[in-house]
Amino acid sequence: MPALDTNVLVRYLVQDDAAQLAAAKRLISRCVAAGATLFVPVTVVLELEWALRSSFGFDKNDVLTTLSSLFSASELTFESERALEVALHLFREGSADFADCLHVALATQAGEQPLWTFDKGAAKVSSAQLVAKG
């Protein structure tokens, strides 16, 4: 199964480079026409969220909408898809950033709780706990 890197998804989503957008569309169309599902590693989703927010100014609602659409695309298969869905839910409902929500979701999926952290924002996510200083 072919896999996609962050930069291909970014070009496809933000359409900021016409040549790369055309190449991404051709690649995706060719794979889909051949009956292939495209694999997206969990690290690509993490980097994608960061790039959309930090480089392209997506706000939380834009990120939520974009990731939700990707997760429902039948052409894509995601590594740790259930953890990604849980992370998206935690991100939607809480104040922690997406990366922290994903860390918690992956640890929980592995049956390893709590996720110990010095990050006060991350500690607000259920199954995360703040490490006491001192």
Model confidence pLDDT, tens digit, residues 94-127: 999 999 999 999 999 999 999 999 999 999 999 9
Q: Look at residues 110, 61, 54 and name the one whose alpha carbon lies nearest to residue 86.
A: 110
In this predicted model, what pLDDT tens digit does every residue of 27-73 receive, in sequence order?
Answer: 999 999 999 999 999 999 999 999 999 999 999 999 999 999 999 99
Average pLDDT, the chain: 95
Torsion angle of C-alpha atoms 69, 73, 79, 80, degrees rounded to 10 = 60
Give the model's pLDDT for residue 1.
80
Contact in structure between 113 and 71 (CB atoms under 8 Å): no
Q: Is the pLDDT of residue 134 over 80?
A: no
Q: What is the pLDDT of residues 16-36, one digit of tens each?
A: 999 999 999 999 999 999 999
pLDDT at 133: 83
Q: pTM value?
A: 0.92
How do strand 115-117 and strand 128-130 relate by DSSP bridges?
Answer: parallel
